[in-house]
């Protein structure tokens, strides 16, 4: 198990270097003057300076590998330049926006994985043509509705008409409390902070604001995970070792939940990995529509305002994040399947 994780970790630097190269080659598609902004830490530096001198000084006309070397050593120190659209360094901008995104992402991800698997197992055990067709059609339709269309309709109905689930992270009264001196921001996850401060009004308000974005970002994956679990279960239930378990006198629900589910989870983990990829993209749209000040909204705004340092830095951060998540996926494979753990 440990050697498996170590081996995975050893591949990480290769992928990471590759990602930085890819991002850097995108930077190099810009001209030297546009690239200048990625090297400026503070707009004050640009005052009373000849831009051409600065380009030469920063070596923006040097061969690409020299530039890459300088850039990567800056990135390694966490220096990704100044973000015009955030009015701070890229790193600061990302750190301050991370909790909102993590809160939304985790709340979207965990219920889907757990709930989708449970529903899928249920559907496979009681498999019945009617619900099969319903879940299938829902999955296909869900796959066809663009997230931004779904999100806008959610807003129209549940905020505009019914007033139940407002956008942004908190109502303004709640925001005042959170920003007041008496409220300690332990994590900046408002649900957790609310609980830690024993302020349940904050918890309730934060949840109310999260319902619509969480549904928007995760709805299609419910159907998807459920269908994968179901078909995987149906296949596993036909395997020889299931018959062996029954021949031992094992109870049917033990056959299903002990012998079948664990094996059926292996393809589900693969899909869950793909789902995380999709969720990261979905964050950009969902945060934009529901006005949640997280990484995704930041990326979208930075792109619209041609804030290159933020966009490139953001890509790298998302790349790191994705690699970490893939590592989690790999570790879950190893936990579930001894053949991978011991290979």
Q: Which of residues 309-328 bind another protein (CB under 8 A)?
A: 311-312, 314-315, 318-319, 322-323, 326
Residue (7 or 248) nearer to another protein, CB: 248
Query: Under a CB-based contact definition with an 8 Å cutoff, are residues 231 and 121 in contact?
Result: no
- Considering only residues 199, 299, 309, 333, which one is a binding residue for another protein as defined by CB under 8 A? 299
Cβ at position 43, least distance to another protein in Å: 20
Count of CA atoms in the C-beta half-sphere (13 A) of 343 = 11
Cβ at position 197, least distance to another protein in Å: 32
Span from 37-45, 100-108, 153-161, 190-198 in contact with another protein (CB under 8 A): 153-161
Cβ at position 155, least distance to another protein in Å: 5
Span from 36-44, 78-86, 203-211, 229-237 in contact with another protein (CB under 8 A): 229-237
User: Per residue in 140-152, is it b (16+ CB within 10 Å) or e — as a string?
Assistant: eeeeeeebeebbe
Query: Under a CB-based contact definition with an 8 Å cutoff, are residues 139 and 231 in contact?
Result: no
- Considering only residues 106, 185, 262, 328, which one is a binding residue for another protein as defined by CB under 8 A? 262
Q: How far apart are the first and last CA of the chain?
A: 9
Q: Which residues contact 233 (CB under 8 A, 6 or more apart)?
A: 120, 121, 124, 125, 256, 260, 261, 264
**Contact flag: residue 231 with another protein (CB under 8 A):** yes
- Considering only residues 141, 187, 257, 328, which one is a binding residue for another protein as defined by CB under 8 A? 141
**Per CB under 8 A, which of residues 158..177 are in contact with another protein?**
159-161
CA dihedral 81, 86, 92, 93 (to 10 degrees): -110
Cβ at position 116, least distance to another protein in Å: 17
Q: What DSSP assignment string belongs to 220-241?
A: HHHHHHHHHHHHHHHHHTTSHH
Number of residues binding to another protein, judged by CB under 8 A: 76
**Contact flag: residue 259 with another protein (CB under 8 A):** yes
CA 62 – CA 1 distance, rounded (Å) = 46
**Per CB under 8 A, which of residues 53..92 are in contact with another protein?**
none
Residue (203 or 220) nearer to another protein, CB: 220
**Contact flag: residue 22 with another protein (CB under 8 A):** yes
**Contact flag: residue 13 with another protein (CB under 8 A):** no
Residue (49 or 277) nearer to another protein, CB: 277
Long-range pairs, 89-96, Cβ under 8 A, ≥24? 89/41, 90/309, 90/310, 90/313, 90/314, 91/313, 93/298, 93/310, 94/295, 94/298, 94/313, 94/314, 94/317
CA distances from residue 126 to 8, 29, 209, 260, 266 in whole angstroms, order as listed:
39, 56, 36, 15, 21
Residue (124 or 199) nearer to another protein, CB: 124
- Considering only residues 3, 73, 185, 244, which one is a binding residue for another protein as defined by CB under 8 A? 244
**Contact flag: residue 140 with another protein (CB under 8 A):** yes
Neighbour tally for 182: CB within 10 Å: 7
**Contact flag: residue 145 with another protein (CB under 8 A):** yes
Residue located via tokens 């879940």: 135
Span from 96-104, 176-184, 189-197, 280-288 in contact with another protein (CB under 8 A): 280-288
**Contact flag: residue 281 with another protein (CB under 8 A):** yes
């Amino acid at each position: 198990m440990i050697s498996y994780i170590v081996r995975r970790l050893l591949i990480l630097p290769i992928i990471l270097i590759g990602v930085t190269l890819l991002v850097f080659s995108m930077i190099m598609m810009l001209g030297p003057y546009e690239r200048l902004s990625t090297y400026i830490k503070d707009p004050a530096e640009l005052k009373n300076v000849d831009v051409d001198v600065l380009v030469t000084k920063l070596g923006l006309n040097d061969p690409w590998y020299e530039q890459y070397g300088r850039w990567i050593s800056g990135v390694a120190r966490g220096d990704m330049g100044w973000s015009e659209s955030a009015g701070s360094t890229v790193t600061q901008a990302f750190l301050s926006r991370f909790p909102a995104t993590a809160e939304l992402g985790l709340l979207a991800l965990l219920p889907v994985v757990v709930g989708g698997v449970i529903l899928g197992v249920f559907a496979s055990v009681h498999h019945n043509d009617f619900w099969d067709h319903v879940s299938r059609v829902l999955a296909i339709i869900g796959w066809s509705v663009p997230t931004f269309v779904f999100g806008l309709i959610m807003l129209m109905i549940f905020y505009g008409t019914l007033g139940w689930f407002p956008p942004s992270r908190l109502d303004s009264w709640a925001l005042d409390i959170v920003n007041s001196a008496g409220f300690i921001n332990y994590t900046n996850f408002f649900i957790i902070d609310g609980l830690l401060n024993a302020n349940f009004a904050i918890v309730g308000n934060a949840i109310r604001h999260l319902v619509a974005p969480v549904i928007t970002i995760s709805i299609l994956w419910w159907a998807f995970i459920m269908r994968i679990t179901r078909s995987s279960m149906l296949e596993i239930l036909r395997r020889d070792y299931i018959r062996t378990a029954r021949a031992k006198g094992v109870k049917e629900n033990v056959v299903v939940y002990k012998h079948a589910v664990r094996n059926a989870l292996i393809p589900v983990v693969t899909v869950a990995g793909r789902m995380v990829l999709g969720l990261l993209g979905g964050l950009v749209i969902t945060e934009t529509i529901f006005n949640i000040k997280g990484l995704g909204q930041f990326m979208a705004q930075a792109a619209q305002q041609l804030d290159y340092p933020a966009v490139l830095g953001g890509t790298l951060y998302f790349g790191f994040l994705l690699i970490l998540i893939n590592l989690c996926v790999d570790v879950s494979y190893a936990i579930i399947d001894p053949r991978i753990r011991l290979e």
